[in-house]
C-alpha cells in the first residue's frame, strides 16, 4: 500500500506541528553578533591599520629575513665550492 500526504503550511506551522523549537530569537541574536564583529574588524583592514601592524614587526622581521638570506647564500656558496 502506498499513500501520499501533502501539507500546505508555512515553515512556522510545520515547526509547531512537528514539535520543533522556535529558534528565531537565537538566529536573530547570532546575526546581530556576527554583524557587530564584522563591523569591528573592518577597521583593521584600513591601510593605516595594516601599516601599523606590519611596521610593528619592522626591524625584527627585516633583520631576521636578512640573516636567513645570508645563511642561505653562505650555505649555497659553501656547497658549490666544496665540489
Give the pLDDT confidence of 22-77 residue by residue, as tens digits. Answer: 999 999 999 999 999 888 888 777 778 777 776 776 667 777 778 888 888 887 66
| Mean predicted confidence (pLDDT) in 3-18 | 91
Residue 34 · residue 42 · CB < 8 Å = no
DSSP structure string for 12-58: HHHHHHHT----HHHHHHHHHHHHHHHHHHHGGGSHHHHHHHHHHHH
Local structure of 69: helix, strand or coil: helix
Examine the pLDDT at 80 and tell me if it is beyond 70.
Answer: no
What pLDDT does 59 receive? 66
What pLDDT does 19 receive? 94
Closest Cα to residue 38, out of 28, 27, 30?
Answer: 30
Domain boundaries, the chain: 7-45, 57-83
What is the C-alpha separation between 82 and 32, in angstroms, rounded? 65
Predicted TM-score of the model (pTM):
0.43
Amino acid at each position: 500500500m502506498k499513500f501520499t500526504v501533502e501539507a500546505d503550511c508555512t515553515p512556522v506551522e510545520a515547526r509547531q506541528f512537528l514539535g520543533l523549537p522556535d529558534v528565531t530569537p537565537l538566529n536573530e541574536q547570532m546575526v546581530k553578533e556576527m554583524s557587530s564583529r564584522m563591523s569591528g574588524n573592518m577597521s583593521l583592514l584600513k591601510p593605516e591599520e595594516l601599516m601599523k601592524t606590519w611596521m610593528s614587526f619592522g626591524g625584527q622581521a627585516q633583520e631576521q629575513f636578512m640573516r636567513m638570506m645570508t645563511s642561505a647564500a653562505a650555505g649555497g656558496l659553501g656547497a658549490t665550492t666544496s665540489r
